[in-house]
Chains A and B, each alone.
Chain A
Amino acid sequence: AQSVTQLDSQVPVFEEAPVELRCNYSSSVSVYLFWYVQYPNQGLQLLLKYLSGSTLVKGINGFEAEFNKSQTSFHLRKPSVHISDTAEYFCAVSGVSSNTGKLIFGQGTTLQVKP
């Protein structure tokens, strides 16, 4: 079984400042890792995913995440945020051998970018 913990429910930050959204996971099997973003009143869309290989993954809109196997973490970062990045961000995992496509989501982190 897998579980995901997003360590911050809300992260306020000023425009053009850097940001890190933290995600830790627990799993007894190998996993794939995902970050999804949900803009107000919209569905979720994929920011980036880690499947294998380089532990630093680059996604859309200037976001990147680093997979740390020893710390079971997959933190999301952006060096300079914009007002338009205000949204809810979800970390998710799925088992590599899963045949259900099931994603286990964290609780979500609301990023509030202030002018």
Chain B
Amino acid sequence: NAGVTQTPKFQVLKTGQSMTLQCAQDMNHNSMYWYRQDPGMGLRLIYYSASEGTTDKGEVPNGYNVSRLNKREFSLRLESAAPSQTSVYFCASSLTIVSYNEQFFGPGTRLTVL
């Protein structure tokens, strides 16, 4: 039982390049989330998926797109990377979208945009 896994662990991009961050969970959770973590700002929600087939914007969605490929997988795409997207990205999942559920986090992807 691996929990939430993310690939890659590290990535360096040049401004304007695109990439997709992958996330998968094996806990049969319905809901999945993408956060970014910046120094002194805590974590901020980028997008979330309440259930398979649905996605919604979070607090900071600009510059990102997501795909809920199936119940297990939720990917985050940067179409044209900018230095402001340098951050650590965390994927999380929870049993359902209700707000009292614990969210389980992956180990993160550290992204640098030059």
Contact = CB atoms under 8 A, between A and B. Distances in A.
B68 to A, nearest CB: 14
Interface of A: 4, 9, 32, 36, 41-46, 49, 51, 90, 92, 94-103, 105-108
Given A43-B105, A43-B107, A101 B97 contact: yes
A51 B97 contact: no
A30 to B, nearest CB: 10
Contact size range, B: 20 to 34
B97 A103 contact: no
Dominant SS among interface residues on chain A: loop
Given A94-B99, A103-B103, 11 more contacts: A9-B40, A43-B90, A43-B107, A43-B108, A49-B102, A99-B50, A99-B97, A101-B94, A103-B43, A105-B43, A107-B41
